[in-house]
Structure 1
Amino acid sequence: MIRSATLPRPAVEKGTSAEMLFHLGMMYRLGREVERNYVTAHKWFNIAALKGSHEARRCRCEISREMTAPEIAEAQRQARDWISLH
C-alpha cells in the first residue's frame, strides 16, 4: 500500500491525461492500493476536471459533501501547487 499523499513524480507528470488523474482520485476516494484520503482524492478530481473530465467534476462534488471546509481548502491548495509545478 502506498502511504504517501502523492505518488512519485514519474507516475504523474505534466502530460498526464484527465482519465489518469480521475483514476488517481478514485484510488484515494476508495482506498484502493493507497490509504483512503478524501483531500488527495479531491485534489486529483479537481486537476482532472480542469483537464476536461466531467466524471471528475461529478465525483469532486460528491466527495465535497463528506469534507469540511478546511479540508476542501487544503485540497484546492494542493491542486494549485501541483498545477504550478507541472
Structure 2
Amino acid sequence: MANGLKSAQFLMQSRLSDAAGESAETCFDLGVAYSCGTGGLPVDLIEAHKWFNLAALKGSEEGQTLRAEVAGEMSAREIAEAQRQARALIATAQRRAA
C-alpha cells in the first residue's frame, strides 16, 4: 500500500508539473487519476471534472466524454466549483505566459 501511494504521489506531482505545459493528454491523465483514485488516492470528482474540462478545452474528445460522465455524479455546486477552479488555472497560466 505504501509503495502504491508513493507511486501515485509521484504521478500526481509529475503530471501537475506537466500541466503547466498545457498538454491535453496530461490534463486527461490527471482527470482519470482523480476520478478513479489512482494508487489508493481518494476520489475527488471536483478535481476530476476540472482536469477533464481542461483536457476538453485543449481538444480531447475523451476529456469531453469523461467530463460529462463525472458531471452526472456531481451536484450543481460541485460542477460550478470545478469550473471556477479550471478558469482560475487558465487565468494563472495566461498571466505566466504574458
For normalisation by structure 2, the TM-score amounts to 0.76
Bigger fraction of residues in helix: 2
Q: Give the CA deviation at 1:35.
A: 2.1
Q: 2:66 aligns with which of 28, 38, 59?
A: 59
Confirm whether residue 85 of structure 1 aligns to residue 92 of structure 2. yes
Between the two proteins, the alignment pairs up a number of residues equal to: 83
Unmatched tracts of structure 1, length 5 or more: none
Larger radius of gyration: 2
For normalisation by structure 1, the TM-score amounts to 0.85
Question: Kindly tell me: are residues 7 and 68 of structure 1, through their superposed partners in 2, closer, same or farther at Cα, counting changes over 3 Å?
Answer: farther
Unmatched tracts of structure 2, length 5 or more: 94-98
Q: Which has the higher contact order (CA 8 A, sep 6+)?
A: 1
| Identity fraction in percent | 46
* Deviant stretches of 4+, over 2 Å: 6-12
Q: Give the CA deviation at 1:67.
A: 0.2
